[in-house]
Structure 1
């Protein structure tokens, strides 16, 4: 890595706050991390695969996280009938979709959709306490659990994004 590359900054989660503020802070930190992994790259770089045979790309990760945001915060939490965004053929409920790229979808479009899903998630969360539960897999899941799950989901995929970014231009660790 070249030392002249400036590392972007992201807001640090609060170190001494109530539970909701802490969970929201960590989720926003993870969201910002994925966005930062994509900053400064061309559309071609954002669509480049990691290492064959894996088809994983940074754009695919952003699209997938838009689908995941939609699934947990709109379908599960709010009970909305929200169809898959990027590939309705992959999973009729859109839970695991988004990784495949469509040549007609630019990164700017994918990122805007992801940001729209994040905005919808924030609105749906603001209207509910952490103890709020929603039906899920024959039981109930709390907003607290969804937040924790989403932090882990982003952290896992941010590890993938770090490897992708390192392969593209050597930038890691932010």
Structure 2
């Protein structure tokens, strides 16, 4: 039997709530949208770059966003030491190199990083600040991280729409 990405039930974003609830709801909506774009596809399809000349793949987007979650929520905001599953100093774009990737394991890694991100911000306020890791040393607050991740997911979900449509014709949502 051929493995396929599992079905996803997407929770609608809330339309009324406090700021934190709204931000969390929209981010979860976009996280689930990415997984929805992968649902029902085989590992080979998830590794397929279908929008030439771009080399983007659905699996590469999943791997990339897993590391984005870890970078912003865990390493930068929470100050954790993160052992990235794909990134290395010698190959900083390894998240997009899916030629030999294990799609099932990578989807599990994504889901684990989302849970770790949630844990890293639990009980923390949106106004809490941190200084970015690396040479820029910019100061951000948690609110900015939520907004940035919503923007990043929205942009990449647009890419995912095009990739998925070219793979099997599925459009929408």
Name the TM-score, length of structure 1 as normaliser: 0.88
User: How far is the alpha carbon of 1:97 from its aligned partner?
Assistant: 5.0
2:61 aligns to what?
61
1:82 aligns to what?
82
Structure 1: tracts of 5 or more residues without a match: 1-6
1:118 aligns to what?
114
User: Equivalents in 2 of 1:127, 1:168: separation in Å?
Assistant: 41
- Give per-residue Cα distances to partners, 1:94-140, cap 9 Å, x unaligned: xx65111151x311100101111100100011131111111123331
SS in structure 2 of the partner of residue 98 of structure 1: helix
Structure 2: tracts of 5 or more residues without a match: 1-6
User: Equivalents in 1 of 2:41, 2:72: separation in Å?
Assistant: 29
- Give per-residue Cα distances to partners, 1:117-173, cap 9 Å, x unaligned: 100100011131111111123331100000000000000000000000000111111
User: Equivalents in 2 of 1:158, 1:140: separation in Å?
Assistant: 27
User: Equivalents in 2 of 1:118, 1:31: separation in Å?
Assistant: 8
How much is the aligned-residue C-alpha RMSD, in angstroms?
Answer: 1.6
2:73, 2:121 within 8 Å by CA — same for their partners in 1?
Answer: yes
1:37-56 map, 5 Å:
37-56=37-56
Name the TM-score, length of structure 2 as normaliser: 0.88
- Give per-residue Cα distances to partners, 1:43-92, cap 9 Å, x unaligned: 1111111233321110000000011011001111111121331131223x
1:84, 1:97 within 8 Å by CA — same for their partners in 2?
Answer: no
Is 57-66 or 125-134 further displaced after alignment? Answer: 125-134
1:134 aligns to what?
130
1:4 aligns to what?
none
